[in-house]
Structure 1
Amino acid sequence: MFVYILGFLLIWFLCWWMRDKLKVGKVSDKYVFITGCDTGFGNLAAKVLDVGGFRVLAGCLTEEGARKLKERTSSRLKTITLDITKPESIENATDLIKQEVGNRGLWGLINNAGIPGILCPTDWLQIEHFRRPIEVNLLGPIEMTLKLLPLIKKARGRIVNVSSVLGRLALTGGGYFPSKFGMEAFNDSLRRDMKYFGIKVSCIEPGVFVTKLTDCGLQRHEKQELWNHLPPDVKKQYGEEYLKQSDTRQEKLVKKLSNTDLSQVVWCMEHALTAKYPRTRYSAGIDAKLLWIPMAYLPTFATDYLLTKDIVIDSNAV
């Protein structure tokens, strides 16, 4: 019986593997728009897809980011200034994309732009600390998608949403995790809604990669600024050693788990655009596959214990 089950699983895997390798054909006439191309995943994706023959439209927040990207890519690639938090900027980008793609429509939209915001205990924060990451990581991509859907329908194209494996598991307070949980929900509903129009929607869930989002020095500075302005009673509740402990813990975790190979995430983007049958979800990074996703399926009490066991707070001060 065991041999039959093993044989069935092997045949199933081989069929899945061969299906996963099927491609859509030539891409030289296909337009792809990527947000957040100044640095990180978006920057590398723009370069790789440009080399691969796509007609890349790269959304950049800064002129410097756009200039540097142009210097390292072909004349096919066009940059578009985009602040994902401003409706007028999204409207302007949409008009430029319409002019560029013409009647072909837009084959791919990669919602990649994102920021971490401040990651620290919830009672240190104000509503503004939640609002900014949610605007950049969730509301901006939603508005961008709504504006470009008519063009994507015309091409029967693809939408790729870059979430995070931490869209399944919130490690601490701040707006980053709610924004990524929200992106997961938006992605799921969009995928089902667009199925009837032949549009494929994929979600990428990277683990911990070395980008500006994992800059521990910046996080440490922002947390210190918050700590300096906390009410004395809150400082007393946490204790003077808490900030140092949390910084050390975060830096050890990032150092141990962070991956410098951004191409793993870009491969997921490229596959979602070029595969005949793209996956609905992509996890990038060993830590995503072997740590964060399994942890998200543990009983809640077990996950809570693992994520808080090294934190020491003076509960007598409350």
Structure 2
Amino acid sequence: MGKNEELPWDLFDRCLLPVIFSHAAAVILSTILNSLYISQVSTFTLFLWFVVSSLGAVFFYHNLKVTAAGKTVLITDCTSKIGYAAARQLDDLGFTVFAGFQDKDKGSKSARKLKDESSGRLHTLQLDVTSEKEILAAAAYVKENLPHGTSGLWALVNSSTWAAFGEVEWIPFAVYKEATEVNLLSAIRITQVFLPLIRKTKGRVINIVSILGRIAAPLRSPYCTVKFGMEAFSDCLRLEMRRWGVDVIVVEPGDYTTGKTWFTDEVLLAQARHMWKSMSKEAQAEYGEDYFEQSVRSLETYTKGEEMDLTPVLRSLTDAACRTFPLPRYTSVTRSEKLQAFVADHLPRSVYDIIYT
């Protein structure tokens, strides 16, 4: 997403409700005052007064920030470019960052590089998000290495992502299981384990989801399915954690899969070969190899596209970690993605299908 396409959707969403309430309050108060002959104040004048006051208050508390010093953040997967960049960013801001790597024990170059580039506050740890043993070991490590005077964890960033491409009939069921395990079940389990530490600080859970958790896309069913699930899990958790003063925040990046952010040509082709071999002879005959190859070629934009600018999603993650009153949802998306999400949320499904298929 280029900088010229970045839009302040989140602040716009936060301001919309006060504007609506200001209009309603102005109409009601103006009607009462005029009916009682107390004052002949116009609705527009009252609306301006209410909207200026309410938006001023919104901008004030929207810009309040916490102090990073002494606060700890766990990022579950820093093997990915987004997780790695988030660890660097939050470390630069003064947080004590625990950066999880699924291959640290295998001599991960990324883990060593991150450690070398960061402050002495940053910790790298082995964390395979699908391993119960490693999740519990990570929790013990975080507890033992909290900064002096810190009672718990300020923020948990669930950033693990694994995806596969293909039509539903092509994809082996084991792939759906793995996508669910990595993207959904692991995040739920890690959240369960770390919630006691988060409650102590009245901190926050930050789930990196995707705009594909709100809009469906062909050839992306494993990813869309688990991201829809993460959206629902986050909403439920946010309602449950309100009594504890814990925020639950969803960060919805746009399509950041291009430019090898997640995939390489080799990975994509290996997935395609595995899918074709796993299909029944009947399915291979029905779809045909030409159609299959054409569909695979249509996905080459995910490995041959221009490297994406991660600035918008990093800004959303920073806001989620630093704001005193964070938004429940940050959408780092383009105009077209925002429009598509609006159509999916508010128009009949038949209209969405006509436009986007």
Tell me the distance in 2 between the aligned counterparts of 1:13 and 1:217: 51
Alpha-carbon deviations, 1:1-42, whole Å to 9, x = none? 996698479635554333321112x21110111111123111
Q: Following TM superposition, by how much is the alpha carbon of 1:104 offset from its aligned partner in structure 2, in angstroms? A: 1.8
Secondary structure in 2 matching 1:277: coil
Q: Following TM superposition, by how much is the alpha carbon of 1:226 offset from its aligned partner in structure 2, in angstroms? A: 1.3
Alpha-carbon deviations, 1:166-208, whole Å to 9, x = none? 0112213542222111111110011011111111110011111
- Other-structure match for 1:182: 229
Alpha-carbon deviations, 1:249-287, whole Å to 9, x = none? 33458878x771112111111111111110000001215
Tell me the distance in 1 between the aligned counterparts of 2:92 and 2:228: 33
User: Does the alignment pair 1:143 with 2:189?
Assistant: yes
Q: Following TM superposition, by how much is the alpha carbon of 1:296 offset from its aligned partner in structure 2, in angstroms? A: 1.9
Tell me the distance in 1 between the aligned counterparts of 2:243 and 2:175: 38
**Matching of residues 1-318 of structure 1 within 5 Å:** 7=48, 11=52, 12-24=54-66, 26-63=67-104, 64=108, 65-101=110-146, 103-116=150-163, 118-172=164-218, 174-209=221-256, 210=258, 211-213=260-262, 215=264, 218-251=267-300, 260-286=308-334, 289-297=337-345, 298-308=347-357
1:120–1:3 CA distance, 2 compared to 1 (3 A): farther
Aligned-pair identity (%): 32
| TM-score when normalising by structure 1 | 0.87
Of 71-80 and 216-225, deviating more is: 216-225
Tell me the distance in 1 between the aligned counterparts of 2:188 and 2:249: 14
1:67–1:296 CA distance, 2 compared to 1 (3 A): same
Q: Which stretches in structure 1 are left out of the alignment for 5+ residues? A: 309-318
Secondary structure in 2 matching 1:205: strand
- Conserved in 2, the CA contact under 8 Å of 1:59 and 1:80? yes
- Conserved in 2, the CA contact under 8 Å of 1:137 and 1:179? yes
Aligned residues: 305
Q: Which amino acid aligns with 2:179?
A: P
Q: Which amino acid aligns with 1:22?
A: L
Of 134-143 and 15-24, deviating more is: 15-24
Q: Which amino acid aligns with 1:247?
A: V
Instruction: Calculate the aligned-residue CA RMSD, in Å.
Output: 2.6
Of 172-181 and 84-93, deviating more is: 172-181
Q: Which amino acid aligns with 2:189?
A: E
Of 296-305 and 261-270, deviating more is: 296-305
Q: Which amino acid aligns with 2:354?
A: Y
From the CA coordinates, give the structure whose radius of gyration is larger.
Answer: 2
1:14–1:238 CA distance, 2 compared to 1 (3 A): farther
Q: Which amino acid aligns with 1:66?
A: A
Secondary structure in 2 matching 1:123: coil
